[in-house]
Amino acid sequence: MTSPRTGHILLVEDEPSFRKLCAGWLRTLGHQVTESATPQEALAHGNPVDLVLLDLVMPPDYSVEAGLERISHFRQAPVIVLTGHADRENALLAIQKGAWDFLGKPLDPDLLRIVIDRALEKNSLEKELRQLRARQAGEDDMGLVGRSPALSALRELIRRIAPTEIRVMILGASGTGKELAARALHQLSPRRNAPFVAVHCGAIPEELLESELFGHLKGSFTGADRNRIGVLEAAHQGTLFLDEIGEMSLTMQVKLLRFLQEGQFRPVGSSTDLKADVRVVCATHRDLTAMVAAGTFREDLFYRLKGVILRMPGLQERLEDIPLLSQTFLNRLAHGQMYYALSPLALNWLLEHPWQGNVRELQQLLQTAASLANPAASPILIQPEDLQFAHGGQPNQTMDLSSSLQLTPQVARLEKRLILTALQQTGGNASQAAKLLGISRVGLWKMMKRLDIQTG
């Protein structure tokens, strides 16, 4: 039998004798207890806690309605509501407002101990999950999923330059994950606790982009009915990500260049310069060198922004990442007992696809295919016809695994993995494995010989 968990409990109770009694009993169980006689005092408590015990009816209002609304103020840890008005309706309302549980006075010590232990375990598991996700996102794959040499080299370069103040230019086709790389730079930098602000320069009309970047004063133009800060000010001490910088007009390029040179900007309609401390990261799918030569992008701005260049590999450059990427996206679609997987033949379909839209196209295709897949199986197995329908193709199209004669080393490794997976799923039965892969038994044996796959 495991020992009960202990933690730091914030006890919010206005009745002094009950508060002292309850706090003393909790301390005998090994908990650290902070006592608060009012909600205001509790909310002013600055140190982190693991659990909140909150009296529902408290001054200054002494109303159940106000107490229920108060629950949402305590988001730092699970909340157990305590009240002498322990009716079912209030219990349900408290849970709806975010409470972990609801206990009526007089308290049953054994029940309270059990509820506290469960709530502390929940809080501990959630902390571990947050830490795991942060570690995976920040230190492992940074949200850039894959183990290919191209992506591994990219992540290593991000780790090296993230702690610096060097400006970064991210180049790559649409859908390769340029914003993910920018966010990774931010999360691994000393600026991680300040804002990350992204602006898509091609999605905002030129006449509004200046206001978006620098802000404006009330009355500075039609529709400016209030003062508004720009993203430069909003990103102060953080990271400003200028996506698709190649879409910015020459006029705006001049104004951005001034900020990069002087660290100052002027809101629209203002006569006063402001300062902002931001790290600028930009991205584009365009060839900026060619644009400089053509006179459509300023050379001085190009060299101000250039710093270090990160090149995002296209999905065709890292086909070996498709299995991991696909399963990652499918795992995000799972809910309840329903989860998804790719059949070996469906995976081969993905490996042969041209992927002009890169990782974004893969993600969207799998989302659509998952909704088309037969839900009768567990897991729900996505087949080639689901992918073909999702892509607008015809279901009678076939993918012959044995037709790939000129193999790159990456695809050869993936074909080998497909065959081994099929053999494992069929208990080593070559005929069934061939059927699963959509090839003849003879074709399977030929491929196994070519790929040096031994059985038995």
Domain harbouring 196, CATH code: 3.40.50.300
Are 380 and 411 members of one domain? Answer: no
Q: Are 341 and 380 in contact (CB under 8 A)?
A: yes
Are 45 and 103 members of one domain? Answer: yes
Burial of residue 22, with CB atoms counted within 10 A of its CB: 0-12 exposed, 13-18 middle, 19 or more buried: buried
Are 173 and 83 members of one domain? Answer: no
Average pLDDT over residues 155-171: 95
Task: Choose the final residue of a domain: 251, 280, 311.
Answer: 311
**2 assigned to some structural domain:** no
Closest listed residue to residue 172, CA positions, set 245, 239, 231, 235: 245
Instruction: Kindly tell me if the per-residue pLDDT of 362 is higher than 80.
Output: yes
pLDDT at 408: 54
Domain harbouring 409, CATH code: 1.10.10.60
**1 assigned to some structural domain:** no
Instruction: Kindly tell me if the per-residue pLDDT of 403 is higher than 60.
Output: no
**376 assigned to some structural domain:** yes
Instruction: Kindly tell me if the per-residue pLDDT of 405 is higher than 70.
Output: no
Closest listed residue to residue 234, CA positions, set 193, 273, 202, 277: 277
* Distance spanning both ends of the chain, measured CA to CA: 45
**428 assigned to some structural domain:** yes
Are 377 and 436 members of one domain? Answer: no
Of 99-103, 200-204, 346-350, the poorest mean pLDDT is in 99-103
How far apart CA 4 and CA 359 sit, in angstroms, is 46
Q: For residue 208, what are the domain limits?
A: 142-311
**103 assigned to some structural domain:** yes
Taking only the tens place, the pLDDT of each residue in 277-326 is 999 999 999 999 999 999 999 999 999 999 999 999 999 999 999 988 99
Residue type, 194: A
Instruction: Kindly tell me if the per-residue pLDDT of 178 is higher than 50.
Output: yes
Are 298 and 345 members of one domain? Answer: no
Most confident among 42-46, 124-128, 170-174 (mean pLDDT):
170-174
Percent of the chain with pLDDT over 90: 37
Instruction: Kindly tell me if the per-residue pLDDT of 400 is higher than 60.
Output: no
How far apart CA 243 and CA 169 sit, in angstroms, is 10
Of 93-97, 129-133, 430-434, the poorest mean pLDDT is in 129-133
Which carries the bigger pLDDT value, residue 30 or residue 343?
30
Are 379 and 413 members of one domain? Answer: no
Q: Are 8 and 53 in contact (CB under 8 A)?
A: no
Are 270 and 413 members of one domain? Answer: no
Are 277 and 419 members of one domain? Answer: no
Q: Return the HEC string of the chain.
A: CCCCCCCEEEEECCCHHHHHHHHHHHHHCCCEEEEECCHHHHHCCCCCCCEEEEECCCCCCCCHHHHHHHHHHCCCCCEEEEECCCCHHHHHHHHHCCCCEEEECCCCHHHHHHHHHHHHHHHHHHHHHHHHHHHHHHHHCCCCCCCCHHHHHHHHHHHHHCCCCCCEEEECCCCCCHHHHHHHHHHCCCCCCCCEEEEECCCCCHHHHHHHHHEECCCCCCCCCCCEECHHHHCCCCEEEEECHHHCCHHHHHHHHHHHHHCEECCECCCCCEECCCEEEEEECCCHHHHHHHCCCCHHHHHHHHEEEEECCCHHHHHHHHHHHHHHHHHHHCECCECEEECHHHHHHHHHCCCCCHHHHHHHHHHHHHHHCCCCCCCEEECHHHHHHHCCCCCCCCCCHHHCCCCCHHHHHHHHHHHHHHHHHCCCCHHHHHHHHCCCHHHHHHHHHHCCCCCC
How many domains are there within the chain?
4
| Confidence (pTM) | 0.60
Task: Choose the final residue of a domain: 261, 290, 311.
Answer: 311
How far apart CA 426 and CA 429 sit, in angstroms, is 5
Are 217 and 91 members of one domain? Answer: no
Taking only the tens place, the pLDDT of each residue in 7-20 is 899 999 888 888 99
**25 assigned to some structural domain:** yes
Of 72-81, 196-205, 238-247, 354-363, the poorest mean pLDDT is in 72-81
Are 213 and 181 members of one domain? Answer: yes
